[in-house]
Structure 1
């Protein structure tokens, strides 16, 4: 319960920060009529929707490997993962001894008669080896089908395990023989389901939270327009569509309006993993060191988001140059007429035309 209260306090504080920042940017919204997925009314309607989908047969209970954070003590949605592009994964090669009698085609090999036969595997996740349950091979290679009759000794606990054909295996990398641990990978888990391999507190996914907003917030009619980034085609757009079609047989929106991402000076999407993110609040209000990161205001932030500017080029001189350039482009058509009006109607101290 204390964990839930801590999460609720964190969410409420973050919402208030976002509200004040959005208002600082000059975004127009009905700030007095916001909804929060943690509100009791929202949770109640969401559970009613869940029960409705359960009664229609769309909700069922089964096993599936999920990502887990040891530091947070909770499972993670795939959308919450962020990969470190500089990470170098350790890899190992292993030779696992064959324990079963060889099929006739392999028994004719001279090497098989002279010594122990081994199956070579290569893995970039050596920490999953204690949970090895099988070795998989590509089923589209006829000569590999002979392996289906083999059994081998697992790397650590000496269990006998099978060799199985699996469509996700390729011959492009590694040895063509893949270490399989159903508790540590989606493809491995599907193999476990297919061949019934041994497989070693409920929570609603956050996408069900947001994906049920059409039901928990809106009455009738539903929204005409959903507005979000291009990454939401497999996020909010999809979760909303799936829950609405399952419950009502129709989409929760008529149209989608999709915007892109803020880019750096090289045209790359700003990303924490790339280290090229500029904090918009620092642009408007300045950083801790005002001499290095002065406050530019909301108008410069809008220009900044529309241009390819990065933190290295975020200087007052450059920003003002871009701002002045845009201003001159706007004034260029009227400047000649304005100069003529000034010359005709303004006089100097002696009453003569300027």
Structure 2
């Protein structure tokens, strides 16, 4: 009896998910690869992606434990088939045919560390994984989560250029977590339904390069000057808030997994023809003097469809931007200089 009830429950749950995510039977299912799938971000990210019926094949890669993670996820009663690939010899099998590649691989922050402290380790990881993407799925959308995003996205772009397959519309730095945090903190402060709050966050993905545009929040909100400054600072330093709260046990993994799944889901919707999909993301940009810059982006079948720019900003937000640009330029240059000295082999 319990088995029949459970089977029925799983079937109903899967059907609900299909109705939720698949508005049309004409939508294409896709292969999504997660590189770093056994880690603190990778496992919950893969779990969330397993719930998206637009994904027909969830392909997981890491250097340890991936077959076990894949076996575990494969028991979940949702449509995506799961495969696990362990070790660099299996990157080809993992990546071939992938439409979207999400890269959370790398080491986490610990107390006292900045995202920049992660640079040397994560730079080489991103270089090698993106190089594999260039070889085995050169037309895929590549979503970089590995920190420091301000530097790893330029590294990814330069690797793709070296291999002759770079398309700036297809490379994204996932800064969605900054938006998720801004939405959450402002909804809490104003007692709003967070499901209906949206705060654009532009710039980069660390410290003062994060520029929340509270004046453009929907619905509109306002704060006294000192509260606005405190709210902005909290959004900018929210990652450190988690690192310190975990007291050496890691950095933001669950919230980052949620944000990564949210961005990936939006990208899949756009690839399947939905025309109203907008996410803030760190991309090649001409909006400022920075080569790469996060702004609201309309996504489409080819990736970046339209850069919606920064909109009207208050004097306070302009001052934040003025502080952000020099630091962001420095982060970008660091990534570009590193990859020139350490090219893909």
TM-score scaled by length of structure 2: 0.23
Q: Which has the larger share of strand? A: 2
- TM-score (normalised: structure 1): 0.22
Q: Which has the higher contact order (CA 8 A, sep 6+)?
A: 2
Larger radius of gyration: 1
